[in-house]
Structures are given as structure tokens and as C-alpha cells.
């Protein structure tokens, strides 16, 4: 079955496929990250368990720290840069983890917003 918010996500993925830099990865909740590569041609930081090195560690990192807290911006920016992550996907899945507020980050710029899905580019 399609994830909740599939039509909004589909529009965002169409935008990403046509507008996002090919070499940059995307960080997102695993629910969305599992379909981003197939629909956009972009890599993800953590996706399918059997296709992601250190899957458990990376999944916990995004769920328990990256999207859960709105602190440690130096650490989060360093993670993005060290892993060639150019985009942060922010939808109902990422919001559900905690209080991360990408719009407040000076290292991120909103490049897409529609139907509850936001995409931020790492500056």
C-alpha cells in the first residue's frame, strides 16, 4: 500500500526528480526513504534495511536524534556534509519523530513546499 500522504509525496518526488542535484543524497524517515530512490533517482542516507550499510545505527540516528531534537545544529550540519546529503525531506513522517524545525536552520534552505511536504537544500 502507498504511504499516507502519497499524492503530496508524489508531487514532491516529481519536483525532486526534475530539480534536485543528482549527486546529492536525501535524508528522510525510512518510510519515505524506501521509495525516494525509485521515484527520483536520488540516493538516501538510510533506506531499505538490506540495502543500507549500518542500517540499524543510521535509522536510530535519524529517529532518536536528527528528527527528534531541535538542538545540536553543528552536529547535524556535520552529518549532512560528511555524508554528501544535499536535501532534507520533511513530511508527516519526519514531524512525528519530534521537534526538529528545519525552517529555523541557517544551513538549510526551503526549496519545495506543497501539501505538507517540505524539501530543504543544504546550503
Please give the pLDDT value at position 2: 46
Four-CA torsion 41, 79, 83, 21, nearest 10 degrees: 40
Q: Helix, strand, or coil here: 47?
A: coil
Mean pLDDT in residue range 72-99: 97
Mean pLDDT in residue range 68-74: 97
Please give the pLDDT value at position 7: 63
Give the cell for residue 42. Answer: 536520488
Mean pLDDT in residue range 73-101: 97
- The structure's pTM equals 0.91
Task: Answer yes or no: are the C-beta atoms of 74 and 81 closer than 8 Å.
Answer: no
Amino acid at each position: 500500500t502507498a504511504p499516507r500522504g502519497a499524492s503530496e509525496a508524489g508531487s514532491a518526488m516529481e519536483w525532486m526528480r526534475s530539480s534536485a542535484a543528482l549527486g546529492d543524497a536525501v535524508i528522510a524517515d525510512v518510510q519515505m526513504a524506501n521509495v525516494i530512490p525509485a521515484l527520483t533517482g536520488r540516493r538516501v542516507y538510510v533506506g531499505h534495511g538490506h540495502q543500507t550499510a549500518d542500517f540499524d545505527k543510521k535509522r536510530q540516528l535519524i529517529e532518536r536524534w536528527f528528527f527528534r531534537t531541535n538542538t545540536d545544529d553543528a552536529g547535524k550540519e556535520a552529518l549532512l556534509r560528511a555524508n554528501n546529503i544535499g536535501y532534507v525531506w520533511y513530511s508527516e513522517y519526519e514531524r512525528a519523530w519530534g521537534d526538529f524545525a528545519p525552517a529555523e536552520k541557517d544551513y538549510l534552505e526551503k526549496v519545495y513546499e506543497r501539501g505538507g511536504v517540505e524539501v530543504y537544500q543544504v546550503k
